[in-house]
Amino acid sequence: MQLKQTWRWFGPDDPVTLQDILQTGASGIVTALHQIPHGDVWPVEEIEKRKKIIEAAGLTWDVVESVTVHESIKTQTGNYKKYIELYKQTLQNLAACDIKIVTYNFMPVTDWTRTNLDYIMPDGSRALYFNWFDLAVFDMYILKRKNAADDYNDDIIYEAEKKFHQYTQKELDDLKTMILFGLPGEKKITIPEVLDKLDWYKDVDHTALKENLKHFLREISPVADELNIKLAIHPDDPPFDVLGLPRIVSNKDDIDFILSSVPNESNGICFCTGSLGASKYNDLVNIVQSIDTRLHFAHLRNTKRDVHGNFYEADHLNGDTDMYNVVKEILAIQQKVETQIPFRPDHGHVMLDDINKKTNPGYSCIGRMRGLAELRGLMLGISRANNWQ
Q: Which residues are catalytic?
A: 234, 272, 299, 346-347, 363
Report CA 275 to chain centroid distance, whole Å: 7
Starting at the earlier edge strand, list the strands of the sheet with 311-314. 116-120, 126-130, 311-314, 302-305
CB 99 within 8 Å of CB 163: no
| Nearest 10 degrees: Cα torsion 80, 75, 104, 191 | 110
Rg over CA atoms, the chain: 20
Three-state secondary structure of the chain: CCCEEEEECCCCCCCCCHHHHHCCCCCEEEECCCCCCCCCCCCHHHHHHHHHHHHHCCCEEEEEECCCCCHHHHHCCCCHHHHHHHHHHHHHHHHHCCCCEEEECCCCCCCCCCCEEEEECCCCCEEEEECHHHHHHHHHHHHCCCCHHHHCCHHHHHHHHHHHHHCCHHHHHHHHHHHCCCCCCCCCCCHHHHHHHHHHCCCCCHHHHHHHHHHHHHHHHHHHHHHCCEEEECCCCCCCCECCECCCCCCHHHHHHHHHHCCCCCEEEEEEHHHHHCCCCCCHHHHHHHHHHHEEEEEECEEEECCCCCEEEECCCCCCCCHHHHHHHHHHHHCCCCCCCEEEECCCCECHHHHHCCCCCCCCHHHHHHHHHHHHHHHHHHHHHCCCC
* Stated length of the chain: 389
